[in-house]
Structure 1
Amino acid sequence: MIKVADYNTLTISRALDFGVYLDDGAEGILLPRKYIPEGKNIGDEIKVFIYHDSEDRLIATTEIPKAKVGEFAYLEVVSVTQQGAFLDWGLTKDLFVPKSKQITGMRVGGHYMVYLYIDEQTGRVAATEKVEYFLSNEDLSVKVHDSVQLLVLRRTDIGYVCIINHRHTGVLHHNEIYRNIKVGDTFNGFIKAIREDKIDLAAGKKGMERVEDEAGKILRLLEENNGYLPYYDKSDPEEIYDFFGMSKKTFKMTIGTLYKQRKIELTQTGIRLIP
């Protein structure tokens, strides 16, 4: 069964001058020639994204959209009509947001957080700005320390509300943020705590996984700077973040690990690579 506005793996059933048809159990779905991967022939399988073209026919592409059905995305409006707005979602045909699914009215050039769904009447993909309806923390699919994908939804006084794995919401507190972020940003994080009223988040990887990643970065930067860097445990947190892209806490944990492994030595003014 074909999943519209989603990825499908289909077999090439026949070839024509303008493209190939993929087997859908019926008349076939066209994959235009410009999207056919090199070396693919009749009988081969191809992973494609299926959606409706401007003539309301199902069509395949190997382009990668910015979101699929059941996901959230922060997209730009490219045109507005009396019926609704059209968003750039990375494909040839723009994504439609009915006027009834907008909150305050969309404008060209503006960016909006939307949720992609299949319209029951037309069977076509559409989007809605009323995203809160599709987010819930009642039946959690995550637990403490789980690695998750985060999408920044909005800024609050205590931090940023983020969408977790396109299903739940949590809060990334200001003291857990060590770089500039904004609505629409996506990055990896993990579940720090689950409370009755909210989920607390942290960016990056947890514990030693984060330290192991950052250790490689510090060693590389030392090698690129003649084996010495003027940063140590008393350096300013902002200076550490500006140079290394990590919090001071992570920096201290990482250089501590590298010191125990005898890969660096600590001086009164910085860290030095041990040959």
Structure 2
Amino acid sequence: MITVGKTQVLTIERITAIGAYLSDGSNEKDVVLLPEKEVPKNSRVGNEIEVFVYRDSKDRLISTTRQPKIELGAFAVLKVVDITKVGAFLDWGLEKDLLLPYNEQTVKVQKGRNYLINLYTDKSDRLCATMKIYPLLKADAPYKIGEWVEGYVYQINPEIGAFVAIDNLYHGLILTKDTNSDIHCGEKIHARISEIRNDGKLVLSPNKKAYKEIPKDAVVILTKLNESQGFLPYNDKTDAFIIKKEFNMSKSSFKRAVGKLLKEKKIKITERGIEKNGK
């Protein structure tokens, strides 16, 4: 049986002017088109081809030799490339972008940002993305208290905290008292396990010993200052998203690093931004 959303090896049943029709061999009527531009040269009837099967813009089954960034049932961090009346569209490596319906969003997504999603099929057998991944995660992570882990924030509840998918597999939570305004859905988190709850879910602490990050972050800022003739148009009023994009650090980390550089009198702050002393 040909499966939507999966990479599979199919056999060429016939070749036409618009492409090759592929089958899994179980049913001659159960075929899917591989467009002519993707059919390997010198292909013949009976040849096997590895393809990914999905639906085109008209909801017709179609296959591609391209490798998507995600397959059915899996998790991936994808970028929002467009927002329309029906939802957001994500870049998943294929010609037709992947739909993230509004009712599958845990937060209002923004164009250009990345979000952790799971791929599923809706009632019409169409591939869609969902940010509602809480019930899909496991609580038997093989980690101990004190170990450091990585994951992506997929939901934020102001009263509870930031929910994190550790290794895209396990439940993680950063309590509200340990979060800050810089944390957003889609952000990659490096945190220490501070507690393993009775239900097996992990409580994370990303701020432990944060002062140790200051020297590294300060070096990043100084390096960028040197590359920009001693001036950078950023300060504590700059949006956290821009800080993350330009410096690859949270706004709180940026402010700590700037504070250290100010204390050491290596920089000065003006209305225009940051200036290196003695430039």
Instruction: State the TM-score, normalized to the length of structure 1.
Output: 0.54
Given that 2:2 and 2:30 are in contact with CA atoms closer than 8 Å, whether structure 1 keeps it comes out as: no
- Structure 1 counterpart of 2:55, from 49, 52, 77: 52
Residue of structure 1 equivalent to 2:17: 17
Does the Cα contact within 8 Å between 1:74 and 1:184 map onto a contact in 2?
no
In the alignment, the residues of structure 2 paired with residue 39 and residue 15 of structure 1 have an alpha-carbon distance, to the nearest angstrom, of 11
- Residue 43 of structure 2: aligned partner: 40
Match of 1:154 in 2: 153
Alignment equivalent of 1:129, drawn from 124, 128, 131: 131
Give the counterpart of 1:102 among 82, 102, 105.
105
Cα distance in 2, alignment partners of residues 151 and 55 from structure 1: 39
Q: Is the 8 A contact 2:2 2:23 kept in 1?
A: no
Aligned length: 179
Note the residue ranges of structure 1 that are not aligned, 5 or more in a row.
Answer: 145-149, 172-182, 186-193, 201-237, 239-275
Listed one character per residue, the Cα deviations across residues 115-144 of structure 1 (whole Å, up to 9, x for unaligned) are 11111x21111011122221122xx5x767
> What does residue 31 of structure 1 align with?
34
Computed over aligned residues only, the root mean square deviation of the Cα atoms, in angstroms, reads: 3.7
Asked whether 1:3 is paired with 2:3, we answer yes
1:56-135 → structure 2 map (5 Å cutoff): 56-119=59-122, 121-135=123-137
Tell me: CA distance 1:48–1:184, structure 2 relative to 1, closer, same or farther (3 Å). Answer: farther
Contact 2:15 2:45 in 1 (8 A): yes
Secondary structure of the corresponding residue to residue 135 of structure 2: helix
The alpha-carbon distance between structure 1 residues 47 and 195, as it changes in their structure 2 partners (threshold 3 A), is farther
Amino acid at match of 1:104: V
* Structure 2 residue identity aligned to 1:15: I
Provide Cα deviations, 1:168-200, integer angstroms capped at 9, x if missing partner: 3469xxxxxxxxxxx677xxxxxxxx9854569
AA of the residue aligned to 1:14: R
Q: Is the CA contact 1:118–1:126 (under 8 Å) kept in the aligned structure 2?
A: yes
Letter paired with 1:28: V
On the 8 A contact 1:73/1:184 being kept in 2, the answer is: no
Residue 77 of structure 1 aligns to a residue in which SS? Answer: strand
- Report the CA distance shift for 1:81/1:50 in structure 2 as closer, same or farther (over 3 A): same
Report % sequence identity: 40
TM norm structure 2: 0.54
